[in-house]
Amino acid sequence: MKKSSIKKIITLLLTFTMVLSLTACAKSKEAPADTTGETPTKAADTSNETAGAGDEAIVNIGMTDTLSSINPLLMDATEVLKYATAFEFLPLVELNKDLDFVGMLASSVTTEDNIHFTVNIDEKATWSDGTPVTAEDVEFTVLKLASPKLANASMALYAFEGTGDDGFVPEGATDMSGVKVIDDKTVEFTTKYPIALTTFENTYGRYILTLPKHILKDVPEEELAAYDWFNAPTVVNGPYRATEVDLQHYVSYVANESYWKGAPKINKLNIKILTAAQLLTGLQSGEVDFVQQTTGGILQEDYQSVEALGNVTVNYGAPVTNQSIFFNTASVTDARIRQAILYGIDRKEIVNGLLNGKGEIVDGFLSSAGPFYDASLTPTSYDPEKAKALVAEAVADGWDSSKALQFFVNSGDTTFCQAADYITAKLAEIGIKIQVNTVDLATLLSTAGSKGFDLMAVQYTYAPVDPYPDINWLLSTDGWTGYSNDTVALALAATQTTSDTAVIKSQYLTIDTLVQQEVPMISAYVISAMGAVNKRLINATPDVYGSFINVHEWEVVK
């Protein structure tokens, strides 16, 4: 895949991956009266005091990030927007809790050459007005996503034939060679270069939310972005449809009684936009029923309090959020210094002391949550004597140990701010000076982009089933690390030309082994984040992936 393409993908990933994982920071001293400290003009009906079964039930999902839209054509690849919109318009596929792709609108997605991808639409799929969902609906949706008039670069459609390097089709285009209707229920996608099936499913299958062509075909493209119909759609293919929207505060939904997978058991559903500090009180009072790990960031300092609530069941998700420390290899040029820092950090002590053991230690990018993780790569152990020896060797060869390395961390990440102070003290013991600079997220990302750092740390989720885009960019001269290695490049390329899990796993083991040896980055720890659900809600389990696949089967009991 082209580096320019990767840079675009990373821009998207950073938009949601780090924001979602970092919004759970900066706990306020005093919780505001409403969800944002402002007074909404009209509040959603979020009462659940009399909730029972059927029409009486109202369920509130707590999320900690505001929405930019619930228009699928403005999809920005954030999980919060995807889930809020997918209640109404299903993705082609979704990841379940076991990290398997399962059909949502599609019954199957297959490829024989990693260029041509055949998507079969479920034969039973229908719109809420009874009209069948067809391949033409999928083609229509993709054409609109690729329209230069909507100018949505976030979907990264430049991978498909018929689009330019910007991901758009020519203005006024009525078809696209990369998306071809085969029959009523079959559509074929064609890419410009090989991509793995998991990349196709994760990057496109999960984020293309199909729209009804028969309803929207006559709406001028220039009006679609601001088309108010999306705030209260009349026709959907998902389990719910929105009835009221206040992007800063809430989205209210009502059940689609004609949902082709079965009418939802809960008639009314709300997304409530809260600060991370309000999730504990919301769960405690019962005003929040459900908090999912990637859209609602419960503060780590609140974990024990949430666990103690008698009305709540907690679930720690798979470890996917990696607290990564990136080196600027153009300034920290001596690999022995980078190795010494890896040896000089007691990562197990950090996990036990700051995360209460709710995390894991790995070397490289992959955690045990993913299918490509190889446990044969033993994480580097804390060894201060080895670290001191490496520093001495580097100093003997001219390394200036009197200069403090500039370490940038996010001021909002209260847990890692404590870890950074601990790391600084431990590294001082081995002869490495560190100057910690705590800055806000925007400044951190700006500093990373300009490479004005020696080390920088940020929470980063490498999609377990598709880590390729992130790693390919990060381990490049254009990426934050400025590190490149021919063996890494070849191994990454090999992951995109096969669907054999064992082969892909072996390539990522090669990459992580080199990262362990040359240390362009360190995984400080991988977080197992907390989700929570009120005990009155059954058939609902908060997990990193798959939480909302069966939302139509959720049920409230008295």
CATH architecture of the domain with range 321-527: Roll (3.10)
CATH number of 89-218: 3.90.76.10
Cβ neighbour number for residue 466 with a 10 Å cutoff:
22
The predicted pLDDT at position 168 comes to 94
The fourth-level CATH superfamily of domain 31-75+238-317+530-558 is: Periplasmic binding protein-like II (3.40.190.10)
Kindly tell me if the per-residue pLDDT of 185 is higher than 90. yes
The predicted pLDDT at position 96 comes to 94
Across 156-180, average pLDDT:
93
Across 164-187, average pLDDT:
95
Across 439-460, average pLDDT:
92
Kindly tell me if the per-residue pLDDT of 48 is higher than 90. no
The predicted pLDDT at position 461 comes to 83
Kindly tell me if the per-residue pLDDT of 26 is higher than 50. no
Query: Which residue ranges make up each domain of the chain?
Result: 31-75+238-317+530-558, 89-218, 321-527
Average pLDDT, the chain: 89
The predicted pLDDT at position 193 comes to 92
Among 123, 120, 66, 105, smallest CA distance to 239 is for 105
Residue found under tokens 């079969």: 120
Strand 93-95 to 101-103 pairing? antiparallel
211 with 141: CB under 8 angstroms? yes
The predicted pLDDT at position 452 comes to 96
25 with 412: CB under 8 angstroms? yes
Across 343-361, average pLDDT:
93
Residue found under tokens 């990193």: 544
What pLDDT digit, counting tens, does each position of 367-410 carry? 999 899 999 999 999 999 999 999 999 999 999 999 999 999 99
Kindly tell me if the per-residue pLDDT of 276 is higher than 90. no
What pLDDT digit, counting tens, does each position of 292-317 carry? 998 888 988 899 999 999 999 999 99
The predicted pLDDT at position 411 comes to 87
Rounded distance, CA 370 to CA 155, Å? 24
Strand 266-273 to 530-534 pairing? unpaired
Residue scoring higher pLDDT (466 or 90): 90
Among 259, 266, 265, 298, smallest CA distance to 282 is for 298
Radius of gyration for the chain, computed over Cα atoms and rounded to the nearest angstrom: 24
